[in-house]
Every structure is written in structure tokens, then in C-alpha cells.
Structure 1
Amino acid sequence: MPRSCLVVGGSRGIGRAVAEELRAAGDRVAVTYRNGSPPDGLFAVRCDVTDTAEVDAAFRAVEAEQGAVEVLVVNAGIVQDQLLAAMPEHRFTEVLDTNLTGAYRVVKRAVRGMLRRRGGRIVLVSSVVALQGSAGQANYAASKAGLIGFGRSLARELGPRNITVNIVAPGLTETDMTARLAPELLAEYLRQVPLGRMAQPAEVARAVGFLASPGAGYVTGAVVPVDGGSSMGH
């Protein structure tokens, strides 16, 4: 039977690929987006995850369209890179408010229905940067590492209600974000990847799709790197 799925931050890149992966599996899929136009072919709701009222409104719209959310994928995130010595405080707190506290707002809203149904799937999209760090990304790395502690705590808290919580940590992935990297910086990053290439969004999406699937019913609290081997040892 098709499940009601919501991909938060699903308008492009990894999030859009995840939405397509879940839809291909036969589920009903909604996405949220913050800026620009909604993606074609998917039920889409504008939502800023830093605003609790917008989060609640987005969930109500999704629930009215396809029922209570049974599978939640949290992919919304921003970057504001800068070396720490020059980083103003607002650049640190804005990244955490979106990437980490935003996940808290979204998951808290989704869990209400999952607890009533005694079941659900939650997948948080972290980053390889959470595992190995990156100069100039102290704010982003802190937010993505926070998702791991957040997710694993929830895995223990929600497991007795048959709700699984897992984390996917993508490495360098071919998206709009990496397209803006200077060629020499991209080459340096690729030298750190044993497979010697970037991931495609669909490759990350397949890992998310498995963790969201009925076949992953005994997997919870896992951190799954999809990074070409770059985080080995972390």
C-alpha cells in the first residue's frame, strides 16, 4: 500500500532524487521548498524550517493531500562558509538554526502522527563533513554532526514505538552547490576520494530509499556514508 512520504528540502539535488526514488517505489511523495519555483510533477509546499508556524502549515497541507506522514526525509540545509576567525556569529547560528534546529522542528511535528500509528521511518541527511571536518565549515560541520547525535538519540527514544531513525552522510555530490566550486578546489577534494569521482544524487537517494523501505525494519541509529570512501576511519 502506498505510504505518505515527505522530503523536506526536496526541490532539487539530493532531495529531488530522493523524492523520485520514493515515488518510483510506489509511495505518495510530497516535498518542501523554500525559494524559487516548486518542482514539476510533485506535490510541493513552500516551507522555511526556521519558522515553526510554516512547518506546521506545511504538514497540514501534506496531511490533507496524502495523509499523515509515514516516511520523513530531512534534507533541508544551507552553507555559509568562512574561516572561524572571520565568521560573524549570525553566520554560525543561522546555519545551525536551519540545518539542526530545523530538523528538530520538522521531526517533532512528524513524530506526533508516527507515535499514534506506532510506526514510521525517519532519515536525516547529514554530510561526510560531520565525520572528518572541513576548514571554513565549522558551522556546517557542527550542524551536520549534531544531526548524528540527534538521530541516534531519537533511535533509542522512538525504537519501542517501531519508528526507525537513520542518518545518511553524503560526500562530494554533483549538485548546484558543487558546481560553484573553483576547479582547483574541486580537484583537491576529489584527490581525497578513493573512488576518484563525485557521487550522483541518485546514488545517495538509493541509500535513503533503502533506509526508508520496509526491508530496513531492523536498521536504526545507523550512519551510512555515501562518500566514495573518503571518510574511512572516522
Structure 2
Amino acid sequence: MTDFTEGEITFPPTYKFDFGTDRYDTSEKQRKPAWTDRILYRINPDVEALAGLVSNVSLDQCDYKRSYEYIKQVQGSYRSHMELKSSDHKPVTSQYKIKIRNAIKQLVEIKVVGPWQSKLEGEVSVVYSNGMVPDSYDYLALYEENISDFRSYKTWVYLPTVGDEYRIKNSIQTCRFPSFEVEKNGRFRVAYYSSRMSCLLGLSEPFEIKI
């Protein structure tokens, strides 16, 4: 489990208990108590992944190595719940403080082109930071203004393959969504999903779509 971090374990083994009791296994097997229930975390993206996407950004600029700046376990919150007896395991919980800030310049900027209307094509332009190269599996997705989950898109489209036959000039790429349908007038956003980073890298300003 390379690069994963875990807080100090101060609670007793959480497995295996006789059902409905606080006694460790008294069956014929008499399993040895163990800490099988654990909570670990890892900063994503890691240094190597970020540096691989942006060639002109050094590891020192990214500074993801100092992960304590971004996520910190609340002291004393990593604990087991020994009072619960509905399983042969005792559940484990932990609380964290997460600091969100821009470590580097935004990698992708998305601009919606012209008015959008349901059942018609929509157009966007994607502006890439220096050194940012789209992957063949990256895609743009249309969401309602308040995104609940990156999978909650209304429609999506792959970025055109990088090449001379496409309009990629000065790190700007245009892309057209196929015709789509929304049920009522509303406010939406277009987001850029990176397959390498497994997350959304860019988000447009909210805009109107009319039926």
C-alpha cells in the first residue's frame, strides 16, 4: 500500500468477536485478535502523475509531498466503536480536516460558445495551460449547475484526437456536443474529465439552456 497514510492506532484489535459480546473468538478456531478494520488515505493526484501532465511545472512547485498541508487527521478521532455488538467486527471511524487550495495554475479552462438550446448541438472551447496535453480518453460532460457527482452528467463527448486535422491552435481546442435533450429550462455547466487523474480538471461558469 505504497503512498498511503494511516493515523496512529490506539484502539484494541477489532476482530474477531463472538456475536453480541465483547469477547474475542471462543469458537474451536479461536482466531487471534487482529486489526483488520483500518482507514488509510492517499493524496491524489500524486507528484508523479501531476508532473507527467504538466511538463513545465517542477515537483517543488507542486509540493504534494508535504501532504499534511492538504489533509490532516483530527487528533483522537481515529477510533473503534467497541460498544457495537451486531457483528464479529467492531467498526472504525476517523475524522479529517481537508485544506483546499490551488497548488498550481489551472490546467484546463472551459468556455461555452454561443447560446445553447435543447435538442441542438452545443459548442465549447477548451484552453490548455502550457504543457497540458489531453489524453485520448479525456472527455467533456454536461452537468446541472450544482454537480452532485462526476457521473451525474446529462451527456458527454470525447475530446477530438490531438492532430493537425483538428483546430488546436495556441493550446485552444474547440469541441461540439452532439444534439441532446433537457426536460426544462435550467442552468448547467460543462466539465473536463481527465482519465489520467481520475477527476474533473476544469469547470465552466454556469450558463442557460432553453428547451
State the TM-score, normalizing by the size of structure 2: 0.23
Considering fraction of residues, name the structure with more strand: 2
State the TM-score, normalizing by the size of structure 1: 0.21
Larger Rg: 2
Considering fraction of residues, name the structure with more helix: 1
